[in-house]
Structure 1
Amino acid sequence: MARIADASLEEWKQLYDANFFSALALVKHTIPHLRAAKGRVIFTSSGAATKAYTSWGAYGSSKAALNSLSQHIAVEEPDITAVAVSPGRVDTDMQKEIREKGTAMLKKDYEDFKAAFEEGKLVRPEQSGGVIARLSVDAKPGLSGKYFKWDAPELAEYRQ
């Protein structure tokens, strides 16, 4: 996590490689198979794709690029269902890193992330992961090109 002015171009490239270009490469390689199978692509997005946090420019914009890619796939590939899903604040190493190194964030945002952990409000991986898994098997074509939070009402049927 670094402010735009402080992060090197190489750090930006690494985040985009991990969060966007790896997904793009996979999709490009599998488009013929996805077309034939009327397949699905579910991108793991982030709330940071739609809400800016100080020092999250590279991360948030790389996730926003996934949301946009989902929209473009929906327009260009009508036989492929592409959905971007934010898994929420999942109890992972990333949340731990935010609590330990997130002091470059605005204080109110940093405190909010810390409080979510301390109050037991982090999402369990199997909660949002289960929604993403079920979408990968049965996402309806009408969801294509859209971005959702994992617990959005539109995804209720994919939660257990």
Structure 2
Amino acid sequence: MGKVIIVTGVSRGIGKSIVERIFKLSSDAIVYGIARSEAPLKALKETYGDRFFYVTGDITDQVALQKLVDGAAKEQGKIDSVVANAGVLEPVQDVNHIDIDAWKKLFDINFFSVVSLTSITLPYLKKTNGNIVFVSSDASDMHFSSWGAYSASKACLNRFAMTVANEEPAVKCLSVAPGIVDTSMQVNIRENVGKDMTSEDHAMFKDLKESNKLLDSNVPATVYSKLALNGIPVDVNGKYLSFDDPILKEFA
């Protein structure tokens, strides 16, 4: 049997590309995915058949996460890797206009759902000497105006990867930033939430699109997919890296 991999946020963007890349790179891998929108999940199921299984639900819903993990473990008998991709950008607001409830909601999605998924899958990953890959962000260690909530949540993921790697020797964990990718998040920045950023930062993101400098989602998706399929190298276990770090060149 091939690798059994759980991927979150698979309905679009990087998550969808990760699923597609896994199947292109491996003829026998099986993916269990979760997202809130069922139509894209059905489309993936129709395309990949018995290689793709899904749960429609919110990743902050413990019941949905448990259903996803139980499905993979009971139906396939193992779990080899997890790619925690799902996340949101909003609220985009500076420190003078903080909506604490919105921050808490973002952290539930971007951070605590990942902690929960890690906790649920860890017993199975320990049996396979498995891997957990977190989709982080360049914003975790550099400033973009009004991205305080998002940036902090991704920085927490980086630190959590270090924690998992150091506290569970049977499982490897890595946090990887995907670069600036041409997804719906970028559309949202250009057309909606950019108004709440500085004009300089907003203009930078618009220029990236206009100058064709945004990455195709398949570029970082290939790195995440190969890490999930081939395993995280021991020398990067627990680290935070960019997808194009030279140390990950074999996964590009």
Distance 2:130 2:236 in 1: 13
In structure 1, the gaps of 5 or more residues are none
Quick check: 1:4–1:58 contact (8 Å CA) kept in 2?
A: no
Query: Which whole-Å deviations, capped at 9, do the CAs of 1:71-103 have from their partners, x for residues lacking one?
Result: 111110112110001111111111111112213
Counterpart of 2:211 in structure 1: which amino acid? E
**Structure 1 residue aligned with 2:245:** 152
Offset of residue 41 of structure 1:
0.3
1:6 equivalent to 2:102? Answer no
Q: Give runs of aligned pairs for residues 48-87 of structure 1, distance below 5 A.
A: 48-87=139-178
Q: Could you tell me how far 1:158 is from its partner in structure 2?
A: 0.3
Match of 1:38 in 2: 129
TM-score, scaled relative to structure 1: 0.95
Q: CA deviation at 1:9?
A: 1.1
Q: TM-score, normalised by structure 2?
A: 0.61
Which of the two has greater strand per residue?
2
Equivalent position SS for 1:55: coil
Q: Distance in 2 between matches of 1:89 and 1:40?
A: 24
* Structure 1 counterpart of 2:120, one-letter code: H
Q: Describe the SS at the equivalent of 2:169.
A: coil
Q: CA deviation at 1:7?
A: 2.8
Contact kept in structure 2, 1:83 and 1:146, CA below 8 Å:
yes
Deviation at 1:141, TM superposition (A): 2.1
- Residue identity opposite 1:37 in structure 2: T
Provide the rounded CA distance (Å) in 2 between the counterparts of 1:10 and 1:61: 15
> Which among 210, 218, 221 is matched to residue 129 of structure 1?
221
How many residue pairs end up in the alignment?
Answer: 159
Share of identical aligned residues, percent? Answer: 37
Alignment correspondent of 1:91: 182
SS of the residue 1:19 aligns to: helix
Match of 1:28 among 96, 116, 119: 119
For 1:49 and 1:117, locate their aligned partners in 2 and report how far apart those are by CA, in whole Å: 22
